[in-house]
């Protein structure tokens, strides 16, 4: 007979290869999570540095014919430990604010490996990027390009530009993280690209070196990537036929991770093979911008049970983590798997796992099978390494919570 213990052991490895049960206690790398509460208060974010490093190396090694510049999407998680680790591994950065740019440089990422994206770059941010001589600005509108040209002239600074194309491709992900459809605020329509190349081809300070594209986040099928990449390839070929030099192609990011046991996720080798198949012989510098796929699986949110509550039609487990710590379930109706830290043999029962915030949206997961949990028992919420701590708030004045990093048997708490 398959027991709950066996089910948990089988499931847990799908979310983080360094998360496992040993003698009925859950470990992250070589640290027993039950002991974390002896040193720190809950809730607390815990990350496996080995998982992040392995994800980066796996992606890098999946390319065999080209060597793209890998620029980590800092918005996914901007902690110093992550930026420092990726910097030492040779990774660049994709930033969307002056703050992210400053933090990337402070953690060792060289400016010539930094790409600045985003629809709302301010004058101050553009000036700062020019001053730091970053690799390129990914321009999102005709108006932005005109402003950059004026600033570059006034500052007498040269700048490389990639024009972000909106390919009108539906990535088949949540509508709030779709960025490549015609109705989305990102990028410039294909029909207007040639005009911009013609307008700025002789500009003294501004050089349009290529195109960029990013169609969305948490994409679980390869087809949207293939459709978008084929469109951008055709656009490159058209521009070259008109005599424009295209040397850089930024393909963005968007690969999804596993949030639920049965999620279908894209294999990194499949993604890399597609890029190589389409672009190997095009004499282009390829840039990719992974974020969630590098760090999402690394993190867990460790939380304590406050109490159980019996309702008329369902039962609740109230934990001390709330939507102020992890907003994804409330914002995107996202489902994160939850596991007990101490595994028991009790029969499972279905509960709604909820937080303490005074909002009905503060629900992590509904009708979730769980063993019998008691006050002060620990649980982990999986796959929170991306868009977890960096999107948290102090709502209800509960304050921001601590983040710790684990490497083998060592805890780094700064």
Residues 6+ apart with CB under 8 A from 160: 135, 136, 137, 207, 209, 248
Query: Does residue 112 contact residue 136 with C-beta atoms inside 8 Å?
Result: no
**Nearest-CA neighbor of 354 among 382, 317, 387?**
317
pLDDT of 16: 83
Is the domain of 142 the same as that of 57? yes
Task: Determine how β-strand 378-381 pairs with β-strand 338-340.
Answer: antiparallel
Q: Using CA atoms, how far apart are residues 117 and 136, in angstroms rounded to an integer?
A: 9
Is the domain of 166 the same as that of 244? yes
Is the domain of 129 the same as that of 229? yes
Instruction: Classify 299 as helix, strand or coil.
Output: strand
Query: Does residue 313 contact residue 358 with C-beta atoms inside 8 Å?
Result: no
Tokens of 305: 């049970």
Q: Catalytic residues, which ones?
A: 358
Is the domain of 271 the same as that of 212? yes
**Nearest-CA neighbor of 403 among 394, 395, 413?**
413
Is the domain of 236 the same as that of 87? yes
Cα atoms in the 13 Å half-sphere on the side-chain side of 304: 13
Phi first, then psi: what are they for 148, rounded to 5°? -60, -40
Q: Using CA atoms, how far apart are residues 359 and 40, in angstroms rounded to an integer?
A: 27
Q: Where does a domain end: 257, 278, 295?
A: 295
Query: Does residue 66 contact residue 275 with C-beta atoms inside 8 Å?
Result: yes
Is the domain of 103 the same as that of 202? yes
**How many C-beta atoms lie closer than 10 Å to residue 57's C-beta?**
11
Is the domain of 200 the same as that of 60? yes
Is the domain of 280 the same as that of 177? yes
Q: Using CA atoms, how far apart are residues 390 and 78, in angstroms rounded to an integer?
A: 7
DSSP annotation of 185 reads: S
Is the domain of 261 the same as that of 369? no
pLDDT of 359: 92
CA distances from 38 to 3, 41, 64, 399 (A): 30, 8, 46, 20
Q: Where does a domain end: 295, 328, 358?
A: 295
CATH number at residue 361: 2.40.37.10
pLDDT of 171: 54
Query: Does residue 117 contact residue 75 with C-beta atoms inside 8 Å?
Result: no
Is the domain of 372 the same as that of 291? no
Is the domain of 268 the same as that of 344? no
Nearest-5° Cα angle at 332, 326 to 334: 70
Taking the whole predicted model, whether its pTM rises above 0.85 is answered as yes
**How many C-beta atoms lie closer than 10 Å to residue 240's C-beta?**
13
Structural domain boundaries, residue 115? 51-295
Q: Give the strand order in the sheet containing 25-28.
A: 19-22, 25-28, 31-32
Q: How many Å from the N-terminal Cα to the C-terminal Cα in the chain?
A: 45
Q: Where does a domain end: 244, 271, 295?
A: 295
Is the domain of 260 the same as that of 304? no
CATH number at residue 290: 3.20.20.10
Number of domains in the chain: 2
Count, residues in the chain: 414
Q: Is 156 left (phi over 0), alpha (psi -120 to 50) or beta?
A: left
Query: Does residue 43 contact residue 32 with C-beta atoms inside 8 Å?
Result: no
Query: What sign does the dihedral 363-368-372-376 (CA atoms) show?
Result: negative
Q: Using CA atoms, how far apart are residues 284 and 249, in angstroms rounded to an integer?
A: 6
pLDDT in tens, the chain (414 residues): 345 555 566 577 677 889 999 999 999 999 999 999 999 999 999 999 999 999 999 999 999 999 999 999 999 999 999 999 999 999 999 999 999 999 999 999 999 999 999 989 999 999 999 999 999 999 999 999 999 999 999 999 999 999 998 765 555 554 544 454 456 555 687 778 889 999 999 999 999 999 999 888 788 889 989 998 998 999 999 999 999 999 999 999 989 888 887 788 888 899 999 999 999 999 999 999 999 999 999 999 999 999 999 888 889 999 999 999 999 999 888 889 999 999 987 667 889 999 999 998 999 999 888 888 999 999 999 999 999 999 999 999 999 999 999 999 999 987
């Amino acid at each position: 007979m398959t027991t709950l213990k066996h089910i948990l052991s089988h499931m847990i490895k799908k979310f983080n290869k360094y998360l496992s049960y040993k003698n009925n206690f859950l470990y992250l790398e070589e640290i027993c999570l039950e002991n974390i509460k002896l040193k720190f208060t809950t809730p607390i974010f815990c990350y496996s540095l080995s998982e992040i490093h392995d994800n980066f190396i796996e992606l890098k090694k999946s390319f065999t014919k080209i060597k793209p510049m890998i620029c980590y999407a800092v918005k996914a998680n901007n902690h110093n430990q992550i930026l420092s680790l990726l910097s030492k591994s040779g990774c660049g950065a994709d930033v969307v604010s002056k703050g992210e740019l400053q933090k990337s440089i402070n953690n060792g990422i060289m400016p010539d490996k930094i790409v600045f994206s985003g629809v709302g770059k301010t004058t101050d941010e553009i000036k700062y990027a020019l001053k730091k001589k970053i690799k390129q600005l990914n321009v999102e509108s005709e108006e932005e390009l005109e402003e950059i040209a004026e600033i570059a002239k006034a500052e007498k600074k040269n700048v490389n530009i990639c024009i972000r194309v909106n390919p009108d491709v539906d990535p088949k992900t949540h509508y709030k993280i779709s960025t490549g459809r015609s109705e989305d605020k990102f990028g410039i329509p294909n029909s207007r690209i040639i005009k911009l190349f013609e307008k700025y081809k002789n500009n003294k300070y501004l050089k349009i070196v290529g195109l960029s594209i990013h169609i969305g986040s948490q994409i679980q099928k390869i087809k949207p990537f293939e459709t978008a990449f084929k469109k951008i390839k055709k656009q490159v070929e058209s521009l070259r036929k008109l005599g424009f030099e295209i040397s850089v192609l930024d393909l963005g990011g968007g690969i999804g991770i596993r949030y639920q046991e049965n999620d279908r996720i894209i294999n990194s080798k499949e993604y890399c093979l597609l890029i190589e198949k389409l672009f190997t012989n095009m004499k282009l510098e390829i840039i990719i911008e992974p974020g969630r796929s590098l760090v999402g699986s690394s993190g867990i949110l460790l939380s304590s049970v406050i109490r159980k509550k019996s309702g008329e039609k369902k039962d609740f487990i109230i934990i001390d983590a709330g939507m102020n710590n992890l907003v994804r379930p409330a914002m995107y109706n996202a489902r994160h798997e939850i596991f007990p830290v101490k595994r028991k043999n009790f029969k499972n029962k279905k509960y709604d796992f909820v937080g303490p915030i005074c909002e009905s949206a503060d629900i992590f997961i509904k009708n979730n099978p769980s063993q019998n949990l008691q006050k002060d028992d620990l649980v982990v919420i999986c796959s929170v390494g991306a868009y977890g701590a960096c999107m948290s708030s102090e709502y209800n004045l509960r304050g921001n919570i601590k983040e710790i990093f684990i490497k083998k048997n060592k805890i780094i708490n700064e």
